[in-house]
């Protein structure tokens, strides 16, 4: 990407490793909606947000918001997000990069 913002690949790798440990079932990933798999992913994500000092909230149906406050709290927000559940036995591929352990990517 252009500009000064750089991805935290170590954080990404540690998240993928934790997700894999918690939700791999045999050859695939199982993060069932509102089941143990999805909950594990939410717990891992929330822990990372807490460690990063983000404001964390959960709405009544379980959506998890992790907020980096701006200077003007009344201004409209920029939201980035994704779902954390997977199809049953979601396929994975292993990604390797220099000076880092392998971590799996989920693929539909």
Rule CB under 8 A: which residues touch another protein?
Answer: 1-3, 7, 32-35, 38-39, 41-42, 45-46, 59-66, 75-89, 91, 93, 95, 105-108
> Which candidate, 82, 51, 52, 91, places its Cα nearest to that of 64?
82
| 85, two tokens | 């559940």
DSSP-derived secondary structure letter, 4 = S
What is the nearest approach in angstroms of another protein to the Cβ of residue 34? 5
- For another protein, the closer CB: 2 or 21: 2
Nearest approach in angstroms of CB 81 to another protein is 3
Q: Which residues pair with 65 in a beta bridge?
A: 57
- Measured between alpha carbons, how far is 60 from 69 in angstroms, rounded to an integer? 22
- When the beta carbons of 3 and 53 are compared against another protein, the nearer one is 3
Instruction: Name the token pair of 106.
Output: 């989920």
CB of 7 to another protein, least distance (A): 7
User: Between β-strands 64-67 and 103-107, what pairing exists: parallel, antiparallel or unpaired?
Assistant: unpaired
Residue 93: CB minimum distance to another protein, A: 5
């Amino acid at each position: 990407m252009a500009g000064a913002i750089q991805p935290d690949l170590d954080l990404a790798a540690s998240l993928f490793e934790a997700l894999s440990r918690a939700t791999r079932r045999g050859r695939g990933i199982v993060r069932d909606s509102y089941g143990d798999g999805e909950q594990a992913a939410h717990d891992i994500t929330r822990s990372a947000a807490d460690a990063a000092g983000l404001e964390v909230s959960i709405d009544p149906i379980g959506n998890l918001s992790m907020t980096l406050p701006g200077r003007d709290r009344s201004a409209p927000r920029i939201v980035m997000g994704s779902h954390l559940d997977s199809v049953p036995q979601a396929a994975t591929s292993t990604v390797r990069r220099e000076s880092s352990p392998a971590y799996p990517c989920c693929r539909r």
